[in-house]
Amino acid sequence: MLSEKLLNNTKWRITHEYKSKLDPDIFTFNSNGSISIENKKYMIGTWAVSGDALIIKYNNYVECRGKLVNREIIGEAKNIKGTIWEINLKSLSPLTFDEVPKTSALNLGGSKWHLELSTVLLPDKIVDERHIVFNNGGTATLMKKNGGQIAGIVKWVLEGDKVIININTFAKYVGKIKEDSFEGELTNIKGKKLLFKGVRKKEVFQTNNVNVKRSVFTAEKYFDSSKFHFLDYYQKYWLDGERNPAFDNHSSNILNLKKGESGAIIYFYNRLNPLISTDELVICYVPSSDPENQMSGVRKLCSMIAKIKNRIDGTHCIVRHKKIDKLASGGNRSIQIQLDSLKIENLELIKGMNILLLDDVTTTNNSLKACKQLLVSAGANDVYCFALGQTS
């Protein structure tokens, strides 16, 4: 989390994405709220943290605002003439972040565990075994040693540092998780207690011959990889020659993302990142219809999302080698047209992996379908298709 404590007396390099090339500045955020600028001694600057934003002002000429994204600060600068450009700050000093709790709904949901049960009197003697999958949304799948699913409604919740699992009103597991171990007590309706010890597992368990598969998402409504999911509806700005009254902030950010504006990239990062699993996965995107447009806004967004641990940047895996007409201009965007204009590169990143495939706006899903088909043919384990906007 961005804070004055984090930034005090740290040194940063700030780069400017301006229409004319500007040299990077080297800032030191002094603890008194001033800024020392190594390469521009004549400039006077101040800094402050407001909420989750860093505000920098110098020479009463430029104001910068940015947010912390994966140990970098990304935002915009604006001068007194109203000119706006993108900025990026990278730390040149070691940073000390507040420790994030190891156990959270975000990193527990979707995980699989093997539990060994023992009596209180003989804790080293294993009397039974269980497998449990913590589904996102607060439910769980509990299985016997042989893989048979245990009947009943199983729910889990976090209370402080404890994980509580309820099986109807028949039994309750209460334990604590430390990294990849899970220990506690099982109490049934008669008051009988057993001890349990568990370890996190990576393999997929079987429940009545059905795979319990880990999604690339944390939100249960996106778990089905056979469907095409979207974040929200996209409303066109113009409708029948007049401004569309339904045009909203989400739709505005999609248009700004298409322009590559950093504010829109951060907006979608903040909305998407909590929905995406921390498991190993590859982030890909649907390339622009024009092969010359190599750094689209959605590609920048994917690269930012991929910076999180265990995620792999696959934005260079699907390549558009032939220009096609835009659908908005009346172009033919059939699946075959898409397939004929796309190819897969860097196959070693795709084979056997779960893929999150992103698109900015979808109407027919044909672009997503074509890219998914190519990824599956290249050996992807599973492909989850997701658009930021679905045309209404």
CATH code of the domain made up of 4-91: 2.40.128.10
Residue 334: predicted pLDDT: 86
pLDDT at 185 over 90: yes
Question: How many angstroms separate the CA atoms of 18 and 330, rounded?
Answer: 34
Provide the pLDDT confidence category of residue 109 given band limits of 50, 70 and 90. Answer: low
CATH number among 3.40.190.10, 3.30.450.20, 2.40.128.80, 3.40.50.720, domain 105-210: 2.40.128.80
pLDDT at 59 over 80: no
pLDDT at 205 over 60: no
Q: What is the pLDDT of the chain when averaged over all its residues?
A: 83
Residue 19: predicted pLDDT: 56
Q: Which residue has the higher pLDDT, 244 or 160?
A: 244
pLDDT at 204 over 60: no
Provide the pLDDT confidence category of residue 105 given band limits of 50, 70 and 90. Answer: very low
Strand-strand pairing, 382-391 and 228-234: parallel
Q: Which residue has the higher pLDDT, 360 or 160?
A: 360
How far lies 202's CA from each of 199, 217, 335, in Å? 10, 16, 35
φ/ψ of residue 312, rounded to 5: -120, 130
CA-based radius of gyration for the chain: 25
pLDDT at 319 over 50: yes
pLDDT at 142 over 50: yes
N- to C-terminal Cα separation, the chain? 36
Beta bridge partners of 158: 163
CATH number among 3.90.320, 3.90.660, 3.30.160, 3.40.50, domain 220-391: 3.40.50
pLDDT at 321 over 80: yes
Provide the pLDDT confidence category of residue 100 given band limits of 50, 70 and 90. Answer: very low
φ/ψ of residue 269, rounded to 5: -60, -45
- pLDDT mean over 370-388: 94
Domain boundaries, the chain: 4-91, 105-210, 220-391
For 83, the token pair is 């000119």
Strand-strand pairing, 206-207 and 193-201: unpaired
Q: Which residue has the higher pLDDT, 100 or 333?
A: 333
How far lies 6's CA from each of 1, 2, 71, 77, 266, in Å? 8, 7, 11, 21, 21
Residue 280: predicted pLDDT: 82
Domains 4-91 and 105-210 share a fold: yes
Its pTM stands at 0.53
Residue 330: predicted pLDDT: 55
